[in-house]
Amino acid sequence: MINELELLYSVSELSAVDADMVAVVHEASKNGFGIDSDFARENVAAVSMAASMAMITTNVTKDVYSREWRPTPTGVAFLNEMEIEEG
């Protein structure tokens, strides 16, 4: 899990799954991260879950994909619900 998350939100108030999801969606919002980056490898379960739940995507426009994960509107809403500032 990402240590920076502790600065953003009290981990004791989140389940482990929520904390991991917040960390992944927040990183996608703040910096974006490559599909084969160390961050993606270290957080493979949470990245997979966030992508499956349409919180992050590599889709840029219709039929155009990148190699970088970025947040979707659903992911941004999730961060807002968790009271985490995006970007």
Residue 8 scores a pLDDT above 70: no
The per-residue pLDDT of the chain, averaged, comes to 84
Write down the pLDDT at residue 45: 94
Q: What domains lie within the chain, and their CATH numbers?
A: 4-81 (1.10.10)
Specify the pTM: 0.78
d(CA 31, CA 28): 6
All residues at 6 or more sequence positions from 60 whose CB lies less than 8 Å from its CB, including other chains? 66
Q: For residue range 26-45, what is the model confidence (pLDDT) as tens digits?
A: 999 999 999 999 999 999 99
All residues at 6 or more sequence positions from 38 whose CB lies less than 8 Å from its CB, including other chains? none
Residue 7 scores a pLDDT above 50: no
